[in-house]
Amino acid sequence: LCFRQSGSSFHVFDQGQFAKEVLPKYFKHNNMASFVRQLNMYGFRKVVHIEQGGLVKPEKDDTEFQHPYFIRGQEHLLENIKRKVTSVSS
């Protein structure tokens, strides 16, 4: 896990190691797909770099995520990260 120098995103460089060593410390699972699903529920998005054009896949284990309120040194913004509410149409 590494934060971008600007502090606006974070990288998971080795998903296997991250899932095995980090996830069980904070979650009841060690499943990377479940972790990504949780990130998506809270509005985090995978970063796609322009030079990749979205067509060239980065290394499989290298994934970067960002959220507009997840910024290094801006802890007061964290309260704005909330789980998305799904509406049920009847």
Condensed to tens digits (0 to 9), the pLDDT of residues 44-85 reads 999 876 665 555 555 566 789 999 999 999 999 999 999 988
Q: Domain map of the chain by residue range?
A: 2-80
Condensed to tens digits (0 to 9), the pLDDT of residues 20-41 reads 999 999 999 999 999 999 999 9
pLDDT bucket at 6, cuts 50 / 70 / 90: confident
**What CATH number should be reported for the domain whose range is 2-80?**
1.10.10.10
Q: pTM of this prediction? A: 0.77
Contact 70, 53 (CB under 8 A): no
Q: Are strands 9-12 and 63-66 parallel, antiparallel or unpaired?
A: antiparallel
Contact 47, 9 (CB under 8 A): yes
